[in-house]
Copies of this chain bind each other. A is one copy, B any other.
Amino acid sequence: MRPSGRAPDQMRAISIETGFTRHAEGSALISFGETRVLVTASLEERVPPFLRGKGKGWVTAEYGMLPRATHTRGSREAAKGKQSGRTQEIQRLIGRSLRAVTDLTLLGERQITLDCDVIQADGGTRTAAISGAWVALRLAVDKLIASGDITEDPILAQVGAISCGIHEGNAVLDLDYIEDSNAHADANFVLTGDGRIAEVQATAEGATFDEEALLRLLRLARIGCGEIFAAQRKATGR
């Protein structure tokens, strides 16, 4: 049995609230059960130096966690004066995942930054962040299309992400904090709405795994991302 009583292939409740903040070009407050991440999309009419004058845009992400998002208070990265390796790893993953479904040439010379701030953490914050970031990006791009700034949609597909793992010998979907702390293997899958893979990160935590286990986790991820894609479509009216 899972600590939460969920079936092995059962996601936690997903909810996506758009427009949680006013100023951003797109925003979403996404929850996977008790995990809650606020994502905002900020549009700037400039690109990073390495892209200037190339007729292409850029999509990037930053990730943060409020100090008391977690069970015990963590220190504030701004006060410590640097972002942890984990934070940097996650924000690089979020950016790559969104760029995997974006045609940067169609976006034009502009940058969209997805800020993913974890309000409450209970496992799976990076996958919730990616899934919510797609919604915020979608909303921001929809505004660019509505205003005529962009004529052809640069977003090629939906993208969602979910964690799976081997917990007490069983492959389970959408690990919460307790499962995540005890899993023998832990995998994050970033999948696209058309059934393809944008990223796989599977890690042994205490016990290595075999090819069959990897495939079983991928199958669970497909189930989970199906639900995420539905929630994204509902939230964005697509």
Contacts and interface: CB of A to CB of B under 8 A. Distances in A.
Given A67-B115, A88-B88, A88-B89, 13 more contacts: A21-B69, A23-B68, A40-B66, A78-B83, A78-B87, A82-B82, A101-B208, A196-B208, A197-B209, A200-B201, A200-B202, A200-B214, A211-B215
Interface string A52-92: 00000000001010111111110011110111011111011
A70 B200 CA distance: 28
Contacts of A218: 211, 214
Contact of A23 (B101, B120, B213): B120
Contacts of A78: 64, 76-78, 82-83, 87
Given A23-B70, A77-B78, A198 B192 contact: no
A115 to B, nearest CB: 5
A198 B213 CA distance: 12
A77 B115 CA distance: 13
Interface in A1-57: 21-24, 27, 34, 38, 40, 42, 44
15 contacts: A21-B119, A27-B68, A40-B68, A62-B67, A62-B76, A64-B76, A73-B113, A78-B87, A85-B85, A86-B92, A100-B208, A157-B208, A192-B208, A196-B209, A197-B213
Contact of A68 (B70, B115, B195, B209): B115
Nearest to A100: B204
A127 to B, nearest CB: 15
A142 interface: no
B208 A204 contact: no
Contacts of A23: 68-72, 120
Contacts of A21: 68-69, 119-120
A119 B34 CA distance: 19
Given A21-B119, A66-B40, A78-B78, A202 B197 contact: yes
